[in-house]
Structure 1
Amino acid sequence: MKKFSLIELLVVVAIIGILGSLLLPTLGKARKKSKQAVCLSNMKQIGSAEFMYQDDNDQYHLVRDNEVYTQYNGWQFLLAPYVNNDGTTAQEVQSSGVFACPSSQLNFNNEWQNGGIGYNTNMGSIQKSIQIAVNAVEVPVETILTADGDEAGGAVHLDNQIFQPGSPHGEPGARHNGGVNTLLADGHAQWYSKVQLMAGKNGNQDYYYMPTK
């Protein structure tokens, strides 16, 4: 039986180390892509639940809050029955199922952080006395309902301030390959780059977050 010399063994170990260093970044990227796909699928399911909510509420869009949960997690409780989420507390609802982004680094035990996914307050808010009818949204294919929030640790919600540079609410997160997964008002889910969202469209920085353009 042939015996390997120390030099030969060191060469084999070095080759394995080189191969490992080449493969690990690829595996890391694949893992991130997988989480991005899961998050996008979650957004799509939230969209299906939103449509069912609309059918039960005279074709009005979901509001971000309700009489019991008046802060930013109220929308999750309104949709919970449509996605088989039977959580009874903010932490239970937001940290499970479609409401929790698998890539978010936020603390799900903080009821202000909404599992990393925020709702566009311009689409409806009891506190703002806003409720938007489905047919009142001018460009539903380009109007965001839900999206990845920032990772700053504050409240995760979307309005015409959160996606502006220097906003006290933070800028959009870029946890998915430099971009954000979103759910649009027509029901489709789409990835946008952070740069694209912050630039807006047609000269309007808030273009993607306002129901009327």
Structure 2
Amino acid sequence: MRQSFTLIELLIVIAIIAILAGMLLPALNKARDKAQAIKCLANNKQVGSAIVQYTADYEDWLPTGKFEGNSGMWKYQLAPYVGMGGLATRGDVIKDKRFGVGSVFSCPKFSGVGSKFASEFKTYPGQTGGLGWNDNVSGNFSAANPTTTTQIKISKFKRQISETALVGDTVDDSQWTYTEYGHYCILHNIRDANDATNRRNERVCRRHSDGLNIAWADGHASWISQAEISQGKNGNYGWYYTINH
């Protein structure tokens, strides 16, 4: 005679499965977060290597964050060094999703740009992927107005290049504006000492165990705690963001 589960037995089995799933979920989430952090750091390392090759080919000149004030120039300049050349202009780069989410210029833990910038993100999918350029260092090249050009040679640094952040966890356009919507992290324009507190307290920036993955000017990439990079060094809150003491 065939026997079947009673309703109570079935509910007990479902409860046991739910308990086991609940016990497994934190471990799975932890493993996923670790994998994302590793991938983000690997992307920074690849970008850092590309920067070193670029400066070697261009007589010590660093890439620039923007061209004529428009973002994405650094991606265009580094594209050939990460196997993504062939695009004619910076404008082509920011329209190409290969340079956005999921690319070497991205961080897997990037949560997006929010509803306010959704249409811009759709039009320019290559503009934002979770990694951005530090506009305080080699921020802009302007052929139309050379006086606004801030392109710089790496040999002009007045501190160790290993302590100067070039690329890291941030969006790559309107970095200050994005703070209002909770989707930017670091590398925004430094305006005053209060920024150190703002960066330290910025909740969404803490993507990787309360820290950030950074590609430094010497080409290496590493994790640094949110508190440390916000506090700066030797009494200078902008120590890791600028080229001067």
Q: Which bracket does the TM-score occupy, shorter chain normalised?
A: 0.7 to 0.9
1:110, 1:201 → 2: CA distance? 40
Letter in 1 for 2:190: N
Letter in 2 for 1:158: H
Aligned to 1:72: 71
Q: Residue 91 of structure 1: which of 92, 95, 101 is its match? A: 95
Distance 1:182 1:172, change over 3 A: farther
Does residue 192 of the first structure (1) align with residue 213 of the second (2)? no
> Comparing 97-106 with 121-130, which one deviates more in the overlay?
121-130
Aligned to 2:122: 109
Does residue 203 of the first structure (1) align with residue 230 of the second (2)? no
> Comparing 53-62 with 4-13, which one deviates more in the overlay?
4-13
Contact 2:52/2:218 (CA < 8 Å) preserved in 1?
Answer: no
| 1:156, distance to aligned residue in structure 2 (A) | 8.1
Distance 1:193 1:24, change over 3 A: same
Letter in 1 for 2:32: R
Distance 1:155 1:31, change over 3 A: closer
2:230, 2:184 → 1: CA distance? 19
Letter in 2 for 1:208: Y
Does residue 181 of the first structure (1) align with residue 213 of the second (2)? yes
| 1:23, distance to aligned residue in structure 2 (A) | 0.8
Give the 3-state SS of the residue equivalent to 2:212 in structure 1: strand
1:42, 1:31 → 2: CA distance? 17
Letter in 2 for 1:73: G
Contact 2:94/2:127 (CA < 8 Å) preserved in 1?
Answer: no
- Output aligned runs, 1:114-193, within 5 Å: 114-124=128-138, 125-126=140-141, 128-137=148-157, 138-149=159-170, 152-153=182-183, 158-161=188-191, 164-166=196-198, 173-193=205-225
Contact 2:133/2:168 (CA < 8 Å) preserved in 1?
Answer: yes
| 1:73, distance to aligned residue in structure 2 (A) | 1.3
Q: Which runs of 4+ in 1 moved over 6 A?
A: none
1:23, 1:172 → 2: CA distance? 26
Question: Going by fraction, where is helix more abundant, 1 or 2?
Answer: 2
Give the 3-state SS of the residue equivalent to 2:155 in structure 1: helix
Query: Alignment identity in percent?
Result: 34
1:172, 1:197 → 2: CA distance? 15
> Comparing 157-166 with 86-95, which one deviates more in the overlay?
157-166
Give the 3-state SS of the residue equivalent to 2:66 in structure 1: coil
* Superimposed CA distance per residue, residues 158-187 of structure 1 (whole angstroms, 9 cap, x where no aligned partner): 3324954458xx887222232211111121
Contact 1:142/1:184 (CA < 8 Å) preserved in 2?
Answer: yes
Give the 3-state SS of the residue equivalent to 2:205 in structure 1: coil
How well do the aligned residues superpose, as a CA RMSD in angstroms? 3.0
Distance 1:155 1:175, change over 3 A: closer
1:179, 1:32 → 2: CA distance? 13
